[in-house]
A and B are shown apart, each in its own frame.
Chain A
Amino acid sequence: MSVKQFRPAFDRGFHNLTFGLAMFVLVLLVAILAFLVVGSIPVLKNQGLGFFISAEWNPVTDVYGALPAIIQTLITAVIALLIGVPVSFGIAIFLTELAPAWIARPVGVAIEMLAAIPSIIYGMWGLFVFAPTFGTVIQRWVMANLAPLPVIGPLFASPPMGIGIFTASIILAIMIVPFITAMMRDVFTTVPAVLKESAYGLGCTRWEVVYRIVLPYCRAGTVGAVMLGLGRALGETMAVTFVIGNSHRLTASIMGPGATISSSIANEFVEADSKLHTSALVTLGLTLFVITFIVLAVARLFLLRLKKQAGH
């Protein structure tokens, strides 16, 4: 075979190979979805849509309701984002726009290392170090000073155990910061220097450059970084299981114990011996799948709108 004949054949082969790999992802996704749907049938047949709106989770009577887990999954993820995003944003801006090289480098490496720490380590650290300190120092104060307040008081009322929804949210925030930061930093460095230099040349301050040049240029990437963090916060399992307190109850308090979808599955799957219990856990998995899908879809729509506004 001459080189001339060989190249198109190789190209076709390469095309087919990569096409196959790409399709593999789709097949895998469909297979997982099918498994979740089939596994959900028993409990949905038995309890109908009540599964999603009931707050009762009782293996003794085989009655399962996902509402507390769904709500607490969303609450922990949202609080984690509220804490994590501004922090990550600050770090990323500092690293790309303000820091001298001798400090940007070690901090950058530190962030990558933080991202590489396995989640169970965060969980253990959370349980043994963070939770006791948080309980005795902060929660005791919160309970004494905020819990007696009218209206918002019940949000904070809980014995100072250091373990609960808010603790889990903070651990989640710590876990997603390195991810979001690393991505934002990479995106921010793509801004052409000439753009920024022109702005400085026009007399812009640092803040104005960040706000009017860097941010608009990196909008899509920034939103992507936040969504990545949100996805991780929604699905994070082991660290949350360690510190959330694992109780299937709807409470007004964000300081009290709760359970997320993934922590419930991690806790109970091995021991679920009734058919409905297993099915209920699989359905929780399906619910998380759908929630994540909705979140990603919303993010896409949001990005599309941003692009339109920007006139691209």
Chain B
Amino acid sequence: MLTTFKKSILGGAALLMAAGVFASAQATEISGAGATFPYPVYAKWAEAYEAKTGVKMNYQSIGSGGGIKQIKASTVDFGASDAPLTKEELDEAGLVQWPMIMGGVVPVVNIKGIKGGDVKLSGQVLADIYLGKITKWDDKAIADLNPDLKLPSEAISVVERSDGSGTTFNFTNYLAAVSPEWKDSIGVNKSVQWPVGVGGKGNEGVASYTKQIDGSIGYVEYAYALQNDLAYTQMQNKDGEFVSPTAGSFAAAAANADWANAPGYYLILGNQPGAKSWPITAASFILVHKSQDNAETAKEVLKFFDWSFKNGSDIADKLDYVAMPENVVDMVEKTWTADVKGSDGKKIW
């Protein structure tokens, strides 16, 4: 009895050791942390990349602020943020930043009898709802935008993100762009002092609150709106046209973005002109250190993103994100060559 017990322990230990050897022989693993917004697409890219190259990419979607903190502390190989850092912030921390993927933030509603795309909103009305100035669904301002729709006289329950997030940054950035009152009284940040409403944690939290609460309005990243079958709204864009959130309308907004003249790629895609542009389009960014102590790992990181730029657009399309256009990819890779170096000063890319 005892011997079998001993044997099985020994056997187990041997197995564990073998597994350990196997794992360490199985080459590199790169790690990143940050934004929740691009998480679905990064996860799928990582899966496809690992199947092809055996290199494992481990991404923790802990939020943009967390990503910035982790890369500053060098606990991960790259950070990810939905809110770009300014050129000064980048220089101060010795970081390089580039846009990796684009998508959209989408207002979602839960009103009885209203399907996705039924309700039209303007930026001004959306801001007034989030300011607590419009409190009922049959308010004149909403009714005027939706003459064909019979909206209930129901209280609007506002849902927002309770944790800091790049999604909130892009959303408040848009509200500030269309509403001077929002800009002055609330401002733009990854978390703000919401005048009304309940806060859910993460895109999932907002999605589930919006689903639970009758008469609610929330904002989530597009993929979460689709996955949760939430009714999205149409939005009036800068050109005065009503558009639905689609990969096409995100791309239209991105087409007008002037990346070449944005130092450190600091550019926000909200409220871009163009008849087809979705007004709350957002890019998500990757951050790495300029000076890399471990050049090999850094090279693996860049190889992963290079592969994703060049082979990842199908996956991105399927998940309703928009891949970066080729000219931007070229620009980004030139930045890698120029700015990302080993600690000995040697080029990595």
Q: In whole angstroms, how far apart are the Cα atoms of A42 and B190 in the complex?
A: 21
Dominant secondary structure of chain B at its interface with chain A: loop
| Closest partner residue, chain A, to B66 (CB atom) | A270
Q: Is A61 on the interface with B (CB-CB < 8 A)? A: yes
Selected from B165, B194, B215, B216, the residue in CB contact (under 8 A) with A271 is B165
Residues of chain A contacted by B197 (CB below 8 angstroms): 247, 257
B99-107, B155-163, B263-271 - the one binding chain A: B155-163
Q: Is B212 on the interface with A (CB-CB < 8 A)? A: yes
Q: Is A272 on the interface with B (CB-CB < 8 A)? A: yes
Residues of chain A contacted by B191 (CB below 8 angstroms): 59, 268, 271
CB distance from B202 to the nearest CB of A (A): 10
A157-165, A290-298, A302-310 - the one binding chain B: A157-165
In the complex, the answer to whether A135 meets B213 with C-beta atoms within 8 Å is: yes
Q: In whole angstroms, how far apart are the Cα atoms of A268 and B63 in the complex?
A: 10
Q: Is B84 on the interface with A (CB-CB < 8 A)? A: no
CB distance from A196 to the nearest CB of B (A): 49
CB distance from B197 to the nearest CB of A (A): 7
In the complex, the answer to whether B189 meets A271 with C-beta atoms within 8 Å is: no
In the complex, the answer to whether B201 meets A60 with C-beta atoms within 8 Å is: no
In the complex, the answer to whether A270 meets B189 with C-beta atoms within 8 Å is: no
In the complex, the answer to whether A132 meets B199 with C-beta atoms within 8 Å is: no
In the complex, the answer to whether A270 meets B63 with C-beta atoms within 8 Å is: yes
Q: In whole angstroms, how far apart are the Cα atoms of A186 and B199 in the complex?
A: 40
Q: In whole angstroms, how far apart are the Cα atoms of A271 and B257 in the complex?
A: 28
Selected from A59, A132, A160, A272, the residue in CB contact (under 8 A) with B192 is A59
Residues of chain B contacted by A59 (CB below 8 angstroms): 164, 189-193
| Closest partner residue, chain A, to B160 (CB atom) | A247
Within 8 A of A (CB), among B304-319: none
Selected from A136, A159, A246, A272, the residue in CB contact (under 8 A) with B199 is A246
Residues of chain A contacted by B126 (CB below 8 angstroms): none
Q: In whole angstroms, how far apart are the Cα atoms of A236 and B114 in the complex?
A: 38
Residues of chain A contacted by B164 (CB below 8 angstroms): 59, 268, 270-273
In the complex, the answer to whether B199 meets A245 with C-beta atoms within 8 Å is: yes
CB distance from B230 to the nearest CB of A (A): 16
Q: Is B208 on the interface with A (CB-CB < 8 A)? A: yes
Q: Is A156 on the interface with B (CB-CB < 8 A)? A: no
Q: Is B65 on the interface with A (CB-CB < 8 A)? A: yes
Q: Is B186 on the interface with A (CB-CB < 8 A)? A: yes
Q: In whole angstroms, how far apart are the Cα atoms of A163 and B201 in the complex?
A: 13
Selected from A57, A128, A163, A271, the residue in CB contact (under 8 A) with B213 is A163
Within 8 A of A (CB), among B175-234: 186-194, 197-201, 208-209, 212-216
Selected from A160, A162, A259, A272, the residue in CB contact (under 8 A) with B65 is A272
In the complex, the answer to whether B192 meets A60 with C-beta atoms within 8 Å is: yes
Selected from B189, B201, B215, B216, the residue in CB contact (under 8 A) with A267 is B201
Residues of chain B contacted by A97 (CB below 8 angstroms): none
| Closest partner residue, chain B, to A164 (CB atom) | B198
In the complex, the answer to whether B65 meets A273 with C-beta atoms within 8 Å is: yes
Within 8 A of B (CB), among A156-197: 159-164
Residues of chain B contacted by A56 (CB below 8 angstroms): 193
CB distance from A200 to the nearest CB of B (A): 52
CB-CB under 8 A for A273 and B187, given A161-B198, A246-B199, A246-B200:
no
Residues of chain A contacted by B157 (CB below 8 angstroms): 159, 161
In the complex, the answer to whether A270 meets B199 with C-beta atoms within 8 Å is: no
Q: Is B69 on the interface with A (CB-CB < 8 A)? A: yes
Residues of chain A contacted by B68 (CB below 8 angstroms): 273
Residues of chain A contacted by B62 (CB below 8 angstroms): 270
In the complex, the answer to whether A247 meets B198 with C-beta atoms within 8 Å is: yes
In the complex, the answer to whether A267 meets B165 with C-beta atoms within 8 Å is: no
Q: In whole angstroms, how far apart are the Cα atoms of A257 and B215 in the complex?
A: 16
Selected from A60, A136, A246, A271, the residue in CB contact (under 8 A) with B198 is A246
Interface string of B68-87 (1 = CB under 8 A from A): 11000000000000000000
Q: In whole angstroms, how far apart are the Cα atoms of A248 and B189 in the complex?
A: 16
CB-CB under 8 A for A267 and B199, given A159-B215, A246-B162:
yes
Residues of chain A contacted by B63 (CB below 8 angstroms): 270-271
Q: In whole angstroms, how far apart are the Cα atoms of A18 and B194 in the complex?
A: 52
| Closest partner residue, chain A, to B216 (CB atom) | A161
Q: Is B249 on the interface with A (CB-CB < 8 A)? A: no
- Name the residue in B186, B192, B216 with the highest tally of chain A Cβ atoms < 10 Å from its Cβ: B192
CB distance from A268 to the nearest CB of B (A): 6
Selected from B155, B187, B214, the residue in CB contact (under 8 A) with A136 is B214
Residues of chain A contacted by B65 (CB below 8 angstroms): 270-273
- Name the residue in A56, A61, A247 with the highest tally of chain B Cβ atoms < 10 Å from its Cβ: A247
CB distance from B261 to the nearest CB of A (A): 27
Within 8 A of B (CB), among A43-64: 56-61
| Closest partner residue, chain B, to A244 (CB atom) | B198
Within 8 A of A (CB), among B143-172: 155, 157, 162-165
Q: Is A241 on the interface with B (CB-CB < 8 A)? A: yes
In the complex, the answer to whether B213 meets A162 with C-beta atoms within 8 Å is: yes
In the complex, the answer to whether A163 meets B212 with C-beta atoms within 8 Å is: yes
Q: Is A225 on the interface with B (CB-CB < 8 A)? A: no
In the complex, the answer to whether A271 meets B187 with C-beta atoms within 8 Å is: no
Q: In whole angstroms, how far apart are the Cα atoms of A245 and B210 in the complex?
A: 12
Q: In whole angstroms, how far apart are the Cα atoms of A243 and B157 in the complex?
A: 15
Q: Can you list 24 A-B contacts with CB-CB less than 8 angstroms, sorted by A residue number?
A: A56-B193, A59-B164, A59-B192, A59-B193, A60-B186, A60-B188, A131-B212, A160-B214, A161-B157, A163-B209, A163-B213, A245-B199, A246-B162, A247-B198, A270-B65, A270-B66, A270-B164, A271-B66, A271-B163, A271-B190, A271-B191, A272-B164, A273-B65, A273-B164
New A-B pairs, 17, CB < 8 Å, besides A164-B198, A270-B164: A57-B193, A58-B192, A58-B193, A59-B189, A60-B188, A60-B193, A127-B208, A128-B212, A131-B212, A247-B197, A247-B199, A257-B197, A259-B199, A267-B199, A268-B163, A271-B66, A271-B191
5 closest A-B pairs by beta carbon, nearest first, are A271-B164, A246-B162, A246-B199, A271-B65, A245-B198
